[in-house]
Structure 1
Amino acid sequence: MKKIASSLLILFFALFSLSCSTDRDDELGPVSFLEIKNFIYDGMQLYYLYKPEVPELANDFFESREDRNDFLNSFDTPENFFYNGLVTPGDRFSFITDDYRELERSFAGISKTSGIEYGLSLDRNDPNFAFAWVRYVLPDTPASAAGVERGMLFNSVNGERLTTTANADGTYSLSAGSRELLNLDVFSIDLAEFDTNDDLQPTGASIDLTQVEYTENPVYIAKTLTINNRKIGYLMYNAYRRNFDVQLNNAFAQFKADGIEDLVLDLRYNGGGSVETAIDLTSMITGQFNGQVITKQRWNPEVQAVFEAGNPENLLDRFDNSISNKDAINSLNLTRLFVITTGSTASASELTIIGLKPYIEVKTIGTTTVGKFEASITLYDSDNFSRNDDSLNPRHFYAIQPLVYTYENSAGTVGPPTGIIPDFELRENLTNLGVLGDENEPLLSLALDQILGRSPSGKSRSGMKFEHFTAVENQSPDFQRMYIDNLPEALHNKR
């Protein structure tokens, strides 16, 4: 994230702070909810993308500090205040955490897991019940050691059926009891399979699993396929994680060495992550557009005005030629790209697609994406909302992750909130998921059909349709988040 000039930010704070600085106690002591809510309010009033839609965030809304505190105190918890007092009804992605350490671990790919990455679908005969299907298994985990494989189904844990809760909007969520079962340190999954009537039946087999702390490399598969004497790269990339940029760049070095002519980028389960990594990925795929604009940011009107008055260049993300550690990017100079997408593909994944479309041919295969074209930022309780500031409040671990900007690509296209509709539609078939990275896996096979100009095979185009309603990663703090890694240039005075 580029920097705003300090003088402009000082002016901005002077104009809009309303003298709302929070006095801080030099001695470590218990924190009050009011103190936390004041931090939340200050951060949202400055950075929130949808500030104009929230009357209470207007700079002149409160006549006095007492009036503001009365408003803050009308909400019993920081969470209630954030979601019901400040976040707009249409905002699906801003969130608050009471432990930013967990959030930071999640951004780094660190979690407690058995190694199963699964999706959840409703039982076709009774939506009060659910079943899980294994999407993939993380290497060197208890699940991989126990022989869990992609495509396995289970509808019970420790002998108890997975159940759902109906939401007010007509959708379903996994019940609290079932979530607890799946989060146990030690548990057993009871396998199931479809019978001849396409109903799910227990097999009588079970697999014992434990959960361990694990750091996931998002570069899940990187391989070169040789088909009809044509070299085609396949990359299954599952999250945009800045701390794995080297591994991503190394995968492209191998593609370059192999002399691939086309690339299939598999983002079917990629919920997003770092904007900076997304920019680097577009530069790895191309390379011939270094310095040209990928996206143009749009913040709330007040922040936008500061950027435009100071240096509009700060609003532009451009193709670059180095990753975060300054290593040179391994670029392929491709002129077309084939991307596999599903309803789990979001944020930075969608930025990759939208950002590249004005420059090269981009074709998508699969199902419609989430439709999340906004970026967020982590705000901490310090004078400049930064983590690395001496004023960071030591009495709590709350942080907020508000949406702060939306964007358009270089052609002025804004991503649709309903998601990117695939050029070639194919839903994953739970009775024939295939082997990831194998040229016969249905979605990869369909992508290869387009590359090779061959007629699609009908064998992978049918299958039962199940309502997929969630996945294991939605329990993660960074689920479907796209974020910038650094704040605009921080101030060292009280907010």
Structure 2
Amino acid sequence: MKNFTSSLLFSVVIFLVSCEKNDGIGLDPTTADEINHFIWKGMNTYYLWQEDVPVLADNRFGNLGELYAYFRGFSSPESVFESLRFQPELTDRFSVIVDDYVALENSFQGITLNSGMEFGLVRYVNSNTNIFCYVRYVLPNSDAATKGIQRGMIFTTVNGTQLTDTNFGNLLFNDSPNYTIGFANYNNGNPTSNGISISLNKAQLQENPVAISKIITEGTKKIGYLLYNQFSSSFDGQLNAAFANFKTQNIDELIVDLRYNGGGSVQTATYLGSMITGQFNGQLYSKEIWNSRVMNALPASRFVNNFTNQIRNVDSNGNVTLNESINSLGMTKVYFIVSSSTASASELVINSLSAYIDVYLVGRKTVGKQVGSITLYDSENLLRNGKNLNNKHAYAIQPIVLEISNKDNQNHPEGFTPGTSLPGIELAENFGNLGVLGERSDPLLDRTITYILTGAKSSFDLKIQPFQDEIFNSKLASPTSNNMYVELK
């Protein structure tokens, strides 16, 4: 993965001159004006659909005064940003603005304020409004772990109030440092209270996304299993170490569990694909399409990501933070466990590898996010370490700037459906019987192992739950959400 450098910004900043050329602003700029100008400048420069949004045209404003006056008609920076998105929720489903870029940066590295409990939200079978939560997993050494919260637990109330599709955001994802949850029995998707309640405290926690890495021996086969929950560059070394163990143990098959992985770094996704394979070093892994301004500013080589045999990470100042050889397995097939929470960089790995080796999926249809973003700040060159970073506010924008595909120009904006998009088995998690992650008591893992051993796709031996879709999950409340990003350095 080639990082986009600040030279790009200097090569395209000429397009912004038309808006800054007139000294006669005619208005005394406020902090809100400065934020609005930054939002417009960032979207004008990098937004993937810049040419489709008339307000983002280079000649839309004759000077800064006109720009300030126009955006003073909006109530907030958020409303300004929303006005610049192209067909929100239809075409651009993922661009975001945040008012605390430190929280955003932390989230990219798995650092969030939470109790250590990750969970999904599901409607009751017999109610259109009531919601229950099921615990997906618990972070080690967190308050939730200390208080005995375990995977598979069901809770329905927060501070004594029943969760619904209209109040869960305020109850679960507010700024309060503590809350009390009331537990229930699953009862076939219509939970009933069991009288147990637990109070939880939030803290700044960093999740190691390399959650489980182990060898499962079945007969003569050694099966490597990796539960990987975020493409976070801070843990590239741990990810590579997991593959070193797989390589030393000479595994026969590999299962990568991405069911709770909403994405992350494109560079880390390239590393993971290179760890799984190795025989394609230097060949095309993925390619990117940016807006015409960016594509014309840089050589074509800057928009391709190749398989690699080396991890080389640098910080925003160009200092090398990790430099080591990749532990590659040379696999010719791989099994992914996926779900409706599998997105962006996870889908990138599936898509890129499917052009080279046999890829099998077990689980549910994935999100369908074939586009990526960058973080832009209010500085002269839009970088975090750029000149004159505005210290009057902490806004940053995370606009969609690229579409990404595999070597065959394929991507799947509709998501991957196991057994349809790629070979595999479509099977949902049973919220009443989640089992233990990494053990065969987990129905999805058990079914994947059976698939490996026998090739059988039938799931007649499983009791399938009433059909229930998640409406939200705790990771979607983090600043990164289902984000796939590249880094400007």
Normalized against structure 2, the TM-score is what?
0.91
Equivalent-residue separation in structure 2 for 1:92 and 1:122 (angstroms): 23
| Preserved contact between residue 293 and residue 316 of structure 1 (Cα < 8 Å) | yes
1:270-313 per-residue CA deviation (whole Å, 9 max, x = no partner) reads: 00011110010001001111110011110011211222xxx211
In structure 2, the CA distance between the partners of 1:435 and 1:71, relative to structure 1 (3 Å rule), is same
User: 1:460 is matched by which residue type in structure 2?
Assistant: L
Partner SS state of residue 127, structure 1: coil
User: 1:59 is matched by which residue type in structure 2?
Assistant: D
In structure 2, the CA distance between the partners of 1:98 and 1:128, relative to structure 1 (3 Å rule), is same
Residue in 2 that maps onto 1:191: 183
Equivalent-residue separation in structure 1 for 2:366 and 2:214 (angstroms): 24
Residue in 1 that maps onto 2:146: 145
Match of 1:361 among 352, 358, 361: 358
Partner SS state of residue 479, structure 2: coil
Matching of residue 417 in structure 1 with residue 413 in structure 2: yes
Residue in 2 that maps onto 1:490: none
* Displacement after TM superposition at 1:157 (Å): 2.0
In structure 2, the CA distance between the partners of 1:6 and 1:81, relative to structure 1 (3 Å rule), is closer
Equivalent-residue separation in structure 1 for 2:433 and 2:462 (angstroms): 8
| Preserved contact between residue 155 and residue 192 of structure 1 (Cα < 8 Å) | yes
| Preserved contact between residue 31 and residue 396 of structure 1 (Cα < 8 Å) | no
CA RMSD of aligned residues (A): 2.2
In structure 2, the CA distance between the partners of 1:472 and 1:297, relative to structure 1 (3 Å rule), is same
User: 2:43 is matched by which residue type in structure 1?
Assistant: M
Unaligned runs of 5+ in 2: 24-28, 314-321, 420-424
* Displacement after TM superposition at 1:124 (Å): 2.2
In structure 2, the CA distance between the partners of 1:88 and 1:20, relative to structure 1 (3 Å rule), is farther
Equivalent-residue separation in structure 2 for 1:270 and 1:362 (angstroms): 17
Equivalent-residue separation in structure 1 for 2:469 and 2:221 (angstroms): 37
* Displacement after TM superposition at 1:322 (Å): 1.5
Residue in 1 that maps onto 2:398: 401
1:104-142 per-residue CA deviation (whole Å, 9 max, x = no partner) reads: 111111112211111001122222221110111111112
User: 2:118 is matched by which residue type in structure 1?
Assistant: E
Equivalent-residue separation in structure 2 for 1:352 and 1:367 (angstroms): 17
1:164-217 per-residue CA deviation (whole Å, 9 max, x = no partner) reads: 22xxxxxxx73524544xx5323322110134x653111112223222221110
| Preserved contact between residue 3 and residue 488 of structure 2 (Cα < 8 Å) | no
Count of residue pairs brought into register by the alignment:
468
Residue in 2 that maps onto 1:491: none
Equivalent-residue separation in structure 1 for 2:129 and 2:21 (angstroms): 49
Residue in 1 that maps onto 2:158: 157
| Preserved contact between residue 426 and residue 461 of structure 1 (Cα < 8 Å) | no
Equivalent-residue separation in structure 2 for 1:365 and 1:6 (angstroms): 41
1:424-453 per-residue CA deviation (whole Å, 9 max, x = no partner) reads: 100111121111111242111221122112
In structure 2, the CA distance between the partners of 1:360 and 1:187, relative to structure 1 (3 Å rule), is same
Equivalent-residue separation in structure 2 for 1:228 and 1:321 (angstroms): 32
Residue in 1 that maps onto 2:343: 346
Partner SS state of residue 66, structure 2: helix
Residue in 2 that maps onto 1:387: 384
Partner SS state of residue 112, structure 1: strand
Residue in 2 that maps onto 1:256: 247
| Preserved contact between residue 87 and residue 94 of structure 1 (Cα < 8 Å) | no
Equivalent-residue separation in structure 1 for 2:22 and 2:39 (angstroms): 11
Equivalent-residue separation in structure 2 for 1:390 and 1:258 (angstroms): 50
Matching of residue 481 in structure 1 with residue 483 in structure 2: yes
| Preserved contact between residue 378 and residue 400 of structure 1 (Cα < 8 Å) | yes
* Displacement after TM superposition at 1:460 (Å): 2.4
Report 1:78-477 matches (<5 A): 78-89=77-88, 90-165=91-166, 174-180=168-174, 184-195=176-187, 199-307=190-298, 311-323=299-311, 324=313, 325-413=322-410, 415-423=411-419, 424-453=425-454, 455=456, 456=458, 458-460=460-462, 462-477=464-479
Equivalent-residue separation in structure 2 for 1:84 and 1:178 (angstroms): 28
Equivalent-residue separation in structure 2 for 1:22 and 1:420 (angstroms): 50
In structure 2, the CA distance between the partners of 1:441 and 1:146, relative to structure 1 (3 Å rule), is same
